[in-house]
Chain A
């Protein structure tokens, strides 16, 4: 199947690649109908496109394609050490999507994946089956929006609609949905569940402007946070990544004060806090493709293969930030990496 066409009118995707075996899934059919004017290319396996040599992540990011695929195995992964487990010993993550519609300069995905194209897995039932088999009977913490932003992608594929019923039936799963999106439809259309946490990443507008291309402004994110709280959802705020930079350092205090002037701290479950950090290997790869980025021209300290700011600097800034945050929320509720 190769469809002669100009680029999709809405400009969302440069091309849609479809695994032959994914063609009959309802998600595939709906997407092909919706993006009917986008060139469609049939492929055998998503890795034939996603893992090609010679792809330029930054160039592709501005011309993103969508790859519709059937996930074969390993539906769940154990949570990595660089991510917060918020005190849960059974920490897993899963990826219905690979890559993200946002274009954050600091994002580790640029170093992790060879391609900026988005892979959307269409066999949602297989994910549910695997979750039931793999997850322990006792409570497990499951991050479902780590290598992507499911809420931002909700208007393209509403994965959370497909999984809502499953999460409701499996209360042993504590599900975290991390997002920078201002899309409120999920909170408006669904009742809150005890085992769903919406984790909003909030950033000062100066950082959004500098590093988070295509993401909503702070005020739009705050509005989404307040909708989620008002609807009764458990809400986590993530101040992560924090940057140490003379041009930015001074914006954090007014940022925190502004956030808690707009959001009732009593409605917040807890806070995740962390500095910019990245695997050294990912950093090297990104440095090559982001050759004009100041972020990747800076010197960092390496500790156990992870690059970040020097410990003394982190400790100093963190102390300052914790003093401010503790005006609004108790320190026990702040999880810092």
Chain B
């Protein structure tokens, strides 16, 4: 599942349009939009809200560490190294209240500029920047990272920040901002596809959903304990890695009825012998 977190509707609406997401009317705590593969939550401004929203979205729609968590939002720029509208892949986040640093693994978007960002509790104005003003700032990223580290792999978090202004947040135009996001959404789609590919190459079980489902139903019929079910899955995985059809090893035992765990244990032993 791909989980998007944005602070504002102005950041969310071009994504909702592009991926044709529909509002989830069953959820009232946050505005949530979704399709079969994507869920987007609008958290509100600030790191506490972004952490809450990330955790909430993952608890409702996420299920595994391979889920992809994308934060798209605007950032202020202390310098004019990147023009407004540029999307940055963030590789270091410093929470300016706690001093804590977060490091997502950025293995996507080879052509995107990679930058660090400072996460503040309040909007930063030009006069707050001081002498060393070559930095980027936002108000959500550290909250998202704090939540993300509990749920997803560090390479599956994409903190994407679009430069909105040079620390003059009062002069922002909503339509212009939407245009910045709209322009970057195809690139975001590409990033998601890169991450999915990465996860498919390395992660997941070698057994398909159907094979796992069959194994679970079989385990129940055979009165297997949880540990025995795991052993069966291991045998099936081994068979598959050896080029055998994993469900075929269950074939001869499908019609057997067992009355006790002891009988089930004997069946498991026979399956193990068959796989060897």
Contacts and interface: CB of A to CB of B under 8 A. Distances in A.
A128 interface: no
Contact of A56 (B91, B148, B155): B155
Interface of B: 65, 81-82, 91-92, 101, 103, 105-107, 110-111, 113-116, 148-150, 152-155, 198, 202-206, 234, 237-238, 241-242
Given A41-B91, A291-B204, A297-B237, A60 B242 contact: no
Contact of A7 (B110, B206, B237): B110
Given A56-B154, A63-B107, A294 B241 contact: yes
A335 to B, nearest CB: 33
Interface stretch (A45-53, A76-84, A129-137, A260-268): A45-53
A111 interface: no
A54 B241 contact: no
Contacts of B152: 54
Nearest to A7: B110
Interface in A61-107: 62-63, 65
A312 interface: no
B115 A2 contact: yes
Residue of A5, A14, A289 with most partner-chain B CB within 10 A: A14
Given A15-B91, A54-B149, A56-B153, A63 B105 contact: yes
22 contacts: A2-B92, A2-B115, A4-B115, A14-B105, A39-B114, A41-B116, A48-B103, A49-B103, A52-B103, A54-B149, A54-B152, A54-B154, A55-B153, A55-B155, A56-B153, A59-B155, A60-B105, A63-B107, A65-B105, A291-B204, A293-B241, A298-B238
Contact of A54 (B65, B92, B101, B198): B65
Contacts of B106: 14-15
Residue among B65, B81, B101, B202 with max Cβ neighbours from chain A (10 Å): B202
A44 interface: yes
B81 A58 contact: no
Interface of A: 2, 4-7, 14-15, 17, 39, 41, 43-44, 48-49, 52-56, 58-60, 62-63, 65, 289, 291-294, 297-298
A35 to B, nearest CB: 14
A41 B155 CA distance: 16
A43 B101 contact: yes
A41 B107 contact: no
A14 B92 CA distance: 14
A291 to B, nearest CB: 6
B91 A55 contact: no
B238 to A, nearest CB: 4
Q: Which A-B residue pairs are the 5 nearest by beta carbons? A: A2-B116, A297-B238, A4-B113, A54-B154, A63-B107
Q: Is the interface of A mostly helix, strand, loop or mixed?
A: loop
A270 B121 CA distance: 64
Contacts of A293: 241
A41 B105 contact: no
B67 to A, nearest CB: 12
Contacts of B110: 6-7
Contacts of B154: 52-56
Nearest to B206: A292
Contacts of A291: 203-206, 237
B202 A48 contact: no
A43 B148 CA distance: 20
Contacts of B206: 291-292
Contact of B155 (A4, A6, A60, A289): A60
Task: Name the residue among B105, B106, B110, B198 with the largest chain A CB count within 10 angstroms.
Answer: B105
A15 B90 CA distance: 12
A55 B203 CA distance: 12
A65 B202 CA distance: 18
Contacts of B237: 291, 297
A39 B105 CA distance: 12
Given A4-B114, A54-B149, A59 B103 contact: no
B202 A56 contact: yes
Contacts of A56: 65, 153-155, 202-203
Nearest to B103: A49
B107 A14 contact: yes
A46 to B, nearest CB: 11
Contacts of A2: 91-92, 114-116
Contacts of B81: 4
